[in-house]
Amino acid sequence: MPEETYTPPSAPPPSPAPDTDNDNKQEEQNEQTEQIVETGSVITPNAKHLIHCLTIIGQVEGHFILPSQNKTTKYEHIIPSLVAIEQDRSIKGLVIILNTVGGDVEAGLAISELISGMKTPTVSLVVGGGHSIGVPLAVSAMHSFIVPSATMTIHPVRVNGLVLGVPQTLSYFDKMQDRITNFVTKNSKMPADRFKELMMQTGELVMDVGTVIDGETAVEEGLIDSLGGLSDAIEHLYGLIEERDAQLALEECGDECGNDNEQQDDNKAEQASPHDE
């Protein structure tokens, strides 16, 4: 009988190496998607400069929760995001996209004050509309843009609910309106008298007092700095970032740069002066 030979089982083929690059990219995309859904913001890492995009849309939600069918921007999401952006050294700039009907006055002013007090370069872009408290939000950035088709509504402070018909109520409204007027005129080129004139205009709005201005008029009136779109806003933000980087580099250099400049000036003076024979 023929002898039986033992054949050992062949080793299984090696498993393919995990594609870590694709896994990391997918994880980054998932994180960005979650960030957009939760806070309406996104960071763009693969760009000339690392910038953060923040959107303020719908109605600015303040101390009261609005109905679920309303599109809202929650100030408890925006405020910590602004603090994080200001502290994060890797984020070089902030672009704010606005398409808002207004909302809570104090919440909108709080966000506006935070943006205007940032050292991180900021640029705002109004698309669609920047109405009511959206006006201070638009002018709070270092430079503001608006597209030609966008509009902005300027009107007095309004309140919903029970109102006491006493002089103190009107005094409170006047003080709140002065806070808005002072902030807008401080952060734009529009004079206070002209802002109040547009705010108290009659005959333009059917059910309200105030004025609606388009993009070109907003720039002509000095409310918004420039007429332009997304690419214009991004390019201007890059310029602000590079100016700030140059300024920070000069501050870090300190006395050494000053001594080097003095030495260069002395060398130039020696080269320019005639030598004695």
List 52, 131, 143, 155, catalytic entry: 155
Would residue 132 count as lying in a domain?
yes
Q: Identify the sign of the CA torsion 178, 182, 183, 188.
A: positive
| Cβ atoms of residues 84 and 53 within 8 Å | no
Average pLDDT over residues 133-158: 96
Q: How confident is the model at residue 261 (pLDDT cuts 50, 70, 90)?
A: low
81 is catalytic: no
275, part of any domain: no
pLDDT one-digit tens code per residue, 99-134: 999 999 999 999 999 999 999 999 999 999 999 999
Q: Are the beta carbons of 137 and 104 closer than 8 angstroms? A: no
- 130 part of a folded domain: yes
Rounded Cα distance, 223 and 185, in Å: 8
DSSP letter at 149 equals T
Range of the domain at 128: 36-266
Tens digits of residue pLDDT in 148-184: 999 999 999 988 778 888 988 889 889 999 999 999 9
**What is the per-residue pLDDT across 34-59, written as a single tens digit (0 to 9) for each?**
766 666 677 777 778 999 999 999 99
Percent of the chain with pLDDT over 90: 59
Of 132, 140, 144, 188, catalytic: 132
Task: Report if residue 140 sits inside a domain.
Answer: yes
- Supply the mean pLDDT for the chain: 86
At residue 184, the pLDDT reads 97
pLDDT in tens, 173-218: 899 999 999 999 999 999 999 999 999 999 888 888 999 999 999 9
This prediction's pTM: 0.79
Mean pLDDT confidence for 228-233: 97
Can you give the CATH number for the domain in which 186 is found?
Answer: 3.90.226.10
Furthest-apart CA pair in the chain: how many Å?
119
Tell me, yes or no, whether 40 lies in a domain. yes
pLDDT for the residue 123? 98
Amino acid at 98: L
| pLDDT confidence tier of residue 234, bands split at 50, 70 and 90 | very high
Number of domains in the chain: 1
Domain annotation covers residue 28: no
pLDDT of residue 276: 47
Q: Does 155 qualify as catalytic in the annotation?
A: yes
Cβ 128 vs Cβ 105: under 8 Å: no
pLDDT at 226 over 50: yes
Say if 141 falls within a structural domain.
yes
- Residue 162 domain-assigned (yes or no): yes
